[in-house]
Structure formats: structure tokens, C-alpha cells
Amino acid sequence: MQPTPVAVVTGGSRGIGKAVAHELASLGYRVQLVARNRGNLEAAKEEIVRAHVLEGETVPGIYAADVSDVAAIRTVVRDILGDCGRIDFLFNGAGISIPGTFDLDAATFTRLFEVNLRAPFVFMQEIVPIMERQGGGHIVNVASRNGKVAVANLGGYSASKFGLVGLGESAFRDLSAKGIAITTLCPGWVNTDMAAGEGASLAPEEMIQPEDIAVTVRWLLSLRRPVRVMDVLLECAKDVERRGSVEIAKLYALRERHREEYDSLTL
């Protein structure tokens, strides 16, 4: 009999991570949730148990830890392996967003890197050898649209997410031949506490929903073993429309003001 697959979901207590944990539970994974706040972890666990009528070993495990603490990550992975005996899927969803660039103090800049980049790195460093021993696995890291296209006043966050995109691309080349599929998700605004806290420019219903990320994960897991997806960019339609029209408007303005330069443009 095949063992029940085990999924580690960081940031699994709220937002995107919780929606992905629901999806994984519905697919038959034993989900192991990691976040700092134990009360939120307990609440997420109860919600998942009720929604998917889980009992016994399929009840989610919860691990309260700050992923900016390298030793704590190693302890969490060791404990999950001890409790479950294997790890088949890693979802690196824990993350923080702090606006700012040169106004950020060095400690805040470092914190963004510790949570958004070093933590996924350490989780992968710990879990990849386990997956290798098992003969394969899946990893999904959540970067951001801001890890592909930076905007003003978000330099620290964007730098950490560009770093995660780069780490994911390199790991994609390292791990593919080892039977480990790794994908970086790069979403625009997602309707979670994080977006609400940042005063997003879109209404909640105009944003990507956490469930859209969950079905993206379901789709990745449904692909046949020889298929690899390096990254997925998910945009909010309203953002694309706005940017598209702004770019076109800029082009028209350039044509009016500097016709020679415009005529020499190769689009």
C-alpha cells in the first residue's frame, strides 16, 4: 500500500497558505502547518478537519515557529519527519511585506530577506535530501509579481522576491533531474490580510483569491511526472488593463512630443 503523502505548508494558518492546505487535505495529503501564532494554527487545523472530515493521522499537524530562525526551521523539519516519516510536498508560503526602499532601516531590510528568502532556502536545504531519498517530490515557492517587475517604494520586498525567483530558477535546474518538481508562483494582489494591510488599489473581488492559488497548486500536482513548470505569473485583470492603457498612453505622448525618437522605436 502507498504511504499517505505528507505536505509541509509554511504560512498555513492564514491567507494563501491556508487555502493551499485545504486543497492538499482534499487531495489526501497529511498537511503540516507552520506559522508563528499558535491560536491561528489551531483555528486553521479545526477548520480543515471539519471541512474535509479528517481523523487519525490525516488531522493536520501544527508547528509554531518563526521561520526567520534557522535553528527553529531545522527543528520543525526534524519533528515533522519524526511524526510523519516522510515529506512529499513543500509549500513555502510564509512571507511578510513591508513597503519602502531607502527609508527602510538595515534591520528591516534584513528581516525581509530572512523571512521571504532565507527561510524558503533553509526549508529546501533540509527537505530536498529527504525527497531525494524518497525518489522525488514537489516544491512550490510563493514569490510575487513584484519578484518579476519592481514598483517604486517596494525595494526591500521586491529584492527579497527577486531573490526567491532566482533561487527557484537555479534550483529548478538542479532538482529536475532528481525527480523533484519545483515551481515559483508570482501572483499580483491576492485577497488576504497582507493585501488589506497594504491598502491595495483594487477591490477585494478584483484581486486573485487564495483559492485561485490553491487550484494552481492542484493543477501543478496533476501534471504528469515528465512535465516541469518553472514559474507561474498570475495577474489581476484590472492591473493589466490599467498598465496596458498607461503604456499605450505614454507611447502616444512620446509620438506627439518626440516624433523622431518615436519613429526610430522598434516595438
Ligand X SMILES: NC(=O)c1ccc[n+]([C@@H]2O[C@H](COP(=O)([O-])OP(=O)(O)OC[C@H]3O[C@@H](n4cnc5c(N)ncnc54)[C@H](OP(=O)(O)O)[C@@H]3O)[C@@H](O)[C@H]2O)c1
Show which residues are catalytic: 157
CB of 249 to ligand X, least distance (A): 26
Which position among 5, 17, 137, 163 is part of the footprint of ligand X (CB under 6 A)?
Answer: 17
d(CA 175, CA 8): 18
Which position among 20, 48, 60, 68 is part of the footprint of ligand X (CB under 6 A)?
Answer: 68
String marking each residue 126-155 x if it binds ligand X according to CB under 6 A: ----------------x-x-----------
Piece of the chain touching ligand X by CB under 6 A; list 12-20, 47-55, 77-85, 244-252: 12-20
CB of 239 to ligand X, least distance (A): 11
Q: Extract the C-alpha cell encoding 58.
A: 490525516
Query: Which residue, 165 or 190, has its beta carbon nearer to ligand X?
Result: 190
> Does 189 contact ligand X by CB under 6 A?
yes
Q: Considering only CA atoms, which of 137, 71, 146, 167 is closest in space to residue 101?
A: 146
Is-contact 213 16, C-beta < 8 A?
Answer: yes
d(CA 224, CA 244): 35
Piece of the chain touching ligand X by CB under 6 A; list 6-14, 131-139, 219-227, 242-250: 6-14
d(CA 215, CA 23): 7
Q: Which residue's Cβ lies closest to ligand X?
A: 95
* Residue-by-residue DSSP string for 228-252: ---EEEE--HHHHHHHHHHHHHHHH
> In this structure, what DSSP letter does residue 95 have?
-
> Does 94 contact ligand X by CB under 6 A?
yes
> Does 14 contact ligand X by CB under 6 A?
yes
